Amino acid sequence: MSNLGYGFTPTHPGEVLKDEIEYRGISQTHLAKQMGMSYKVLNDILNERRPLTTSTAMMFEAALNVPADSLMRLQLKYNMQVAQRDSKLNQRLANIRKHAAMF
């Protein structure tokens, strides 16, 4: 289970949501007001500077009818792929595995 590679570049859910609102012709300002969130938070999610939370995924589902669980799965896969590229984390995991092998 040490190699969880997916073979592609991770997709942040913000990228999918941004494409969706552009396709529908919805302004970010209008959507932020409708969802009761600040424009900055919405823009940060759409531009992949902020992760999607369970609450925000549910708000997007209510506003756009995009399933929250699908968005959260995208976020999880994105997080896993970003973590896999973290050299410090990889070193720490290797150390843990080395010690776990002694048990």
Predicted TM-score (pTM) of the model is 0.83
Tell me how far apart the alpha carbons of residues 44 and 14 are, in angstroms, rounded to a whole number: 8
Q: Is the pLDDT of residue 25 over 80?
A: yes
**The two structure tokens encoding residue 49:** 């500077």
Q: Give percent of the chain with pLDDT exceeding 70.
A: 93
Please give the Cα distance from 15 to 17 (Å, whole number).
5
For domain 13-100, give the CATH superfamily.
Answer: lambda repressor-like DNA-binding domains (1.10.260.40)
Residue 83 scores a pLDDT above 50: yes
Give the Cα separation of 95 and 82 in Å (integer). 19
- At 103 the pLDDT is 77
- Which amino acid, 34? Q
Residue ranges covered by each domain of the chain: 13-100
> pLDDT (tens digit, 9 = 90+) per residue, 45-69?
999 999 999 999 999 999 999 999 9
